[in-house]
Amino acid sequence: MNREHLVHTLRSQGLFCAASGSAMYGELFELVASDVEAGGVFAAILSGHEEDPSRDAVPLRLLGGLHRLVLDGRAAHLRRWYPSTGGTWDAGAAWPEILGIASGHSDALRSALDQPPQTNEVGRSAALIGGLLRINHEFDFPIRLFEIGTSAGLNLRADHYHYRFGEFQWGPADSPVTIDDAWHGVLPPGGGTRVVERHGYDIAPIDVTGTDGEMAVVSYVWPDQEARLKRLRGAIEVARGVPARLERKTAADAVAGLTLTDGALTVLWHSITWQYLSAEQRAAVSAHVDALGESASLRSPFAHLTMEPARDGPGTPIKFLVRARRWPGGDLEVLGECHPHGPPVNWL
Q: Please report the pLDDT score of residue 277 as a whole number.
A: 92
The pTM for the full model equals 0.84
User: In terms of residue numbers, what domain contains 27?
Assistant: 2-112
182 and 303 assigned to the same domain: yes
The predicted structure's pLDDT at residue 211: 84
CATH at residue 246: 3.40.50
- DSSP secondary structure string, 52-106? STTTTTHHHHHHHHHHHHHHTTTTGGGGGG-GGGT----HHHHHHHHHHHHHHTH
Per-residue model confidence (pLDDT) at position 235? 96
Count of domains observed in the chain: 2
| Beta strand 332-339 pairing with 162-165 | unpaired
Radius of gyration of the chain (CA): 21
Q: Do 290 and 169 belong together in one domain? A: yes
CB half-sphere exposure, 80, CA atoms < 13 A: 5
Is 117 contained in some domain? no
CB of 200 closer than 8 Å to CB of 156: yes
What integer pLDDT is reported at residue 55 of this predicted model?
67
- Walk along the chain (348 residues) in steps of 10 and give the mean pLDDT of each run: 86 94 97 96 91 78 96 96 97 97 96 81 94 86 96 96 93 95 88 92 90 90 91 94 96 97 97 92 98 96 96 86 96 94 92
